[in-house]
Amino acid sequence: MARPRTFDEDAVLDAATDRFWRHGYAATSVRDLGAAMGLAAPSLYNAFGDKHALFTRCLDRYLDGGMRERIRRLEATRTARAAIEAFLDEVVARSLEDRRGCLLVNSALEVAPHDPEIGTVIAERLGELEGFFLRCIRAAQRDGTANPAHRAHDLARLLLTTVLGLRVLARARPEPAVLRGAARQALALLDPPAKGQDR
C-alpha cells in the first residue's frame, strides 16, 4: 500500500556484514555502511533502525547462514569422527583463504564484553558449537573411533577452544603449516589407544 523498496535486503545486508567483518564494529562508520550498501543514510535508518541494530541483524544472519547450516550438514552426511575432522578442516581452509577471519570470533572479543545482548547471542552460539562437538565425540566414543578414556565434555571444550584459537592465529599468522599442524594435533587427541604401535 505504499512505495516499495528499491534495494534487495539480502544484498545490502551482505554488504554491511562484510564491512563489519573486515573492520570491526567501532571502526565501521554509518557512512561506510551506506556507501557499501548503496543506501543513503535515511534509507538505512528507516530500514534497519540504527547502527547497533544493523550490526545485530548482520551478526544473526551470519550465524544462522553459516555455522548452524554447516553443523547440520556435517551431522547429516558424515560419521561422528568424520564430521569433527571435516569441521576442523573447513575452519583451517576458510581461515587461509578468507582474511576476514570469523565474524563470531571478532565480535566475541570486540563487542561481546561491552554489550550484554550480543554477548548472550555469542555465548549461545559457542554453546551450540560445543554441543555439536560433544554429540560427535560421544557417538565416536561409542563406535570406537574416539578414545573413550577421555571425558567427552573436556574434549568438546578443547575442540571449541581450538576452533577459536585457529581463527585468532589465522588473522595474525596465516601460515598453512601452523594451522594444519594445530588442527591435526587436536584430532590426534581423539584417537583411540593404539595396540602395538608404541614407538
Partner DNA sequence: GCCGATGTATATCGTTCGCTAAACAACGAG
Partner DNA sequence: CTCGTTGTTTAGCGAACGATATACATCGGC
Range 75-94, binding its own copies (CB under 8 A): none
Binding letters toward its own copies, positions 171-190, x by CB under 8 A:
xxx----xx-xx-xxx-xx-
Q: Which of 22, 51, 157, 171 binds DNA (CB under 7 A)?
A: 51
Q: Which of 18, 22, 24, 52 binds DNA (CB under 7 A)?
A: 52
Q: Closest distance between DNA and the C-beta of residue 33, in Å?
A: 8
Task: Pull the grid cell for residue 38.
Answer: 548503496
Binding letters toward its own copies, positions 109-138, x by CB under 8 A:
xx-xxx----x--xx--xx--x--------
Give the sign of the dihedral formed by CA 117, CA 17, CA 20, CA 67: positive
Q: Is 39 in the site for DNA (CB under 7 A)?
A: yes
Contact 45, 53 (CB under 8 A): no
Q: Which amino acid type is present at position 146? A: A
Round to whole Å and give the CA distance between 165 and 99. Answer: 15
Identify the CA nearest to 71 among candidates 79, 81, 83, 62.
83
Round to whole Å and give the CA distance between 79 and 186. Answer: 18
Binding site for DNA (CB under 7 A): 1-7, 28-32, 39-43, 45-47, 50-52
